[in-house]
Structure 1
């Protein structure tokens, strides 16, 4: 029987969502987590993440170093956004981030919050000050680097070895959890003869997948300093609730130290990277398979309100500068017969060197309208769904690669759609970019699917979504603090 594209899209969406965010007694989802879809996906080549894998200043020559810093600028710009609980990270927002007057950049709003917040002041002892400085330096460290062209030395802030180990072990745990959730979701939605393998796999191997999750959690604790980092952050939060002045000053200094510049663009930007940096070569990719049989299962899955853009139909659309002509024939209601989709999925932790989200959990600061803070709303009212200028931030980027769709009807619809799209445009389905050009600042790349009979293949990897964290009510000062306590 034929199936509407939108039903197939819902099945794909449910499978991805349950893999990344869903959970059970073994892998418990966070109540403050929500998923944002990217429409269409953001393609990345392995070279575009060379700085994340190998670093910027380890480059062998100036030309390579300049390329790496440009790649760092591109990633930082694309990730410098505040998630929206009401909609996906669409192409308009993606392209707008490169504009000088882009609204609501995460880094800029965060800077203004630091700059104009009034903080509680209670003099710390010398011992508390020393301990606070020690703990800050354990998480982040300052390095002096030399520009290969000018020989100018500059101090930059980077994640410490402890913080990198923490992020790497957390990424490994997320990979194990994603595999566990993927196998569970595949078994839960399995139907017919094709579903026997997924069902049998879960029946026989669930304990093994659970053990991998436990082993990754134990490795995060023993080798990734999980307890130590959590205790450090708890001490910083507890201590600075009484006196934020010194901590706030250090956060502003670290924000400035984390800014670097690229010769090509000529503006400073906040250094941002991914862990694992060599995600294109890492082993943490989970294979996802979806068929038309999953459409009924997906209807039973609850679409949480934090699944941003859950109500958006997954039909065909054009993007970028290409002008799509008459294309009303192929929409999310278009009927498709047999359908099989498979791809690989991986998660990368987003690390922002100058960004300290612990500040938002602190209850020793306020903002006053008219005293520097000129926005209509506070950062977040803490409601569900929240309202505000800074309701959360992306913590993980979700990558997909080697997409393959087997369906004669789907391929026919794709071919008909691309034939009506200008050369510079392209076609996407849901969060997947299937073909077309895409821009990175001053550069331009082509991204093209290949068709072989009834099979459509999309090479390479792309970001298809983000896992985001809600910050709660901010500011949210302690009730015993009076207005006169803030300065």
Structure 2
């Protein structure tokens, strides 16, 4: 291994080790990742520790003080709980709520892009995003333009369902037209609903007092909850008992569960539940007016220094063992390098590659790294992988479309999906004896707006969907320190052939 190496050759070795650490299992303790690969950003996206406050606290605005991940409820709200709310604090909380929506939309936009699958066979490549192709759009298309298996229960099961339904519904003559009958709730259901309403009333009363006390701006609400909560709790328990004793609660629940267990086998009903989940996931950013789907890292506490971080070190002893990592965006088989990045007023980006070599024998890189799953409550991958759906065959536009062709590498509308984020923080890079030379070169490059060291954003101005920020790195005798949190890339999952309807199914709806 020569001492003087091109930056891209050295960086590709580093990323080869990152790949080994994150997804290349030994096949014994950890399984080998045959359907996963890494896609690195170019460059990484710097983030703030509070970019994921919406996932930790919800979208309500709060005043923070002494944030403690072990005691989040005690870390938010006015320092003096008895102090009255002011216009300034109300404005701050409104601003905080708006920022949460902006950052949630920005994170969903990053995770929604479909990663490139070119060249994932025999080598790993930098992710090349296709801004016209999004997970949410493809998934919505599958839900909207699909047909599902039209399964029908047998005659015995149909008879059971009819008997169960007769306990919940009854026919009633129409007042205007006596020859017409209408299905209405049975006496059992009406009694159930009456007692349920009484319980909901008591439960809402208790919940209202509790929320008032938690968000109180004066002492009255706190004292009211403290002195009356036990009484309201008794009302809630009494209403629950009355509901069970006189409202046929257990009988109704058993009948409803029996019907649901049969209808749950209906893929039409299952698809409908998926559609409802998708609809419930839609939010609107008050600032941009754009709709987006709730997406977050899970858990989000890692951003505040929580658990999940692993110390990563790359030194001279890793050169021989690390895999190489090639890039689909550079010519001549090269990969990541060092770029000066300039951002114009219009948001366009220009890159200037730094030519030079690095003394590999004295180079070290250390950082903390975390692999965090992406949570999409509106997305059901099992639907796309199911054999019980297909695109509508009477629609010439979509009937032959494929989400994925299942080949290696796969192609299609969504051949792969990002499933986990790769976050890093506290990056330290040491260049050895030539440290001062590299420092001056980096300072020159940074003068153009910012610079990246491979996929690591190493300082300067950065523009994202929600705002413009300035992140910086520091130089010392120990090397360069890239402070803060950044998104380095994604773990991506390749999809099998989809749709792949079962050839035994002949009835579709």
TM-score where L is the length of structure 1: 0.67
Change (3 A) 1:363 1:290: same
2:440 corresponding residue in structure 1: 415
**Is the contact between residue 437 and residue 446 of structure 1 (CA under 8 Å) also seen in structure 2?**
yes
Give CA deviations for 1:445-471 in whole Å, capped at 9, x if unaligned. 112111113610000011112112222
The reply on whether 1:76 has 2:102 as its aligned counterpart is no
Q: CA deviation at 1:18?
A: 1.2
Q: How does 1:25-36 map to 2 (within 5 A)?
A: 25-36=28-39
**Is the contact between residue 281 and residue 294 of structure 2 (CA under 8 Å) also seen in structure 1?**
yes
1:116 corresponding residue in structure 2: 145
Q: CA deviation at 1:45?
A: 0.7
Give CA deviations for 1:389-440 in whole Å, capped at 9, x if unaligned. 11121111111100001114466345324414554x3211222111122223
| Distance across 2 between alignment mates of 1:71 and 1:328 | 32
1:165 corresponding residue in structure 2: none
Q: CA deviation at 1:123?
A: 2.9
| Distance across 1 between alignment mates of 2:287 and 2:461 | 21
| Distance across 1 between alignment mates of 2:263 and 2:342 | 49
SS of the residue corresponding to residue 363 of structure 1 reads coil
**Is the contact between residue 384 and residue 499 of structure 2 (CA under 8 Å) also seen in structure 1?**
yes
2:220 corresponding residue in structure 1: none
The reply on whether 1:64 has 2:67 as its aligned counterpart is no
SS of the residue corresponding to residue 389 of structure 1 reads coil
1:472 corresponding residue in structure 2: 496
Q: CA deviation at 1:293?
A: 2.7
**Is the contact between residue 341 and residue 403 of structure 1 (CA under 8 Å) also seen in structure 2?**
yes
Change (3 A) 1:411 1:284: farther
Give CA deviations for 1:269-288 in whole Å, capped at 9, x if unaligned. 00001111111221221111
Q: CA deviation at 1:13?
A: 1.1
2:425 corresponding residue in structure 1: 401
Change (3 A) 1:302 1:441: closer
The counterpart of 1:23, out of the listed 22, 25, 30, is 25
| Distance across 2 between alignment mates of 1:350 and 1:55 | 17
SS of the residue corresponding to residue 296 of structure 1 reads coil
The counterpart of 1:443, out of the listed 456, 467, 471, is 467
Q: Which runs of 5+ in 2 are unaligned?
A: 63-76, 78-92, 119-124, 165-203, 205-259
Q: Quick check: which has more Rg, 1 or 2?
A: 2
| Distance across 1 between alignment mates of 2:490 and 2:288 | 26
| Distance across 2 between alignment mates of 1:414 and 1:67 | 36
The Cα RMSD (Å) is 3.3
| Distance across 2 between alignment mates of 1:247 and 1:348 | 29
Q: CA deviation at 1:111?
A: 0.4
**Is the contact between residue 366 and residue 429 of structure 2 (CA under 8 Å) also seen in structure 1?**
yes
Q: Which runs of 5+ in 1 are unaligned?
A: 97-101, 131-143, 145-235
1:250 corresponding residue in structure 2: 273
The reply on whether 1:348 has 2:375 as its aligned counterpart is no
| Distance across 2 between alignment mates of 1:286 and 1:110 | 34
Aligned length: 362
Q: CA deviation at 1:376?
A: 8.0
Q: CA deviation at 1:239?
A: 9.1
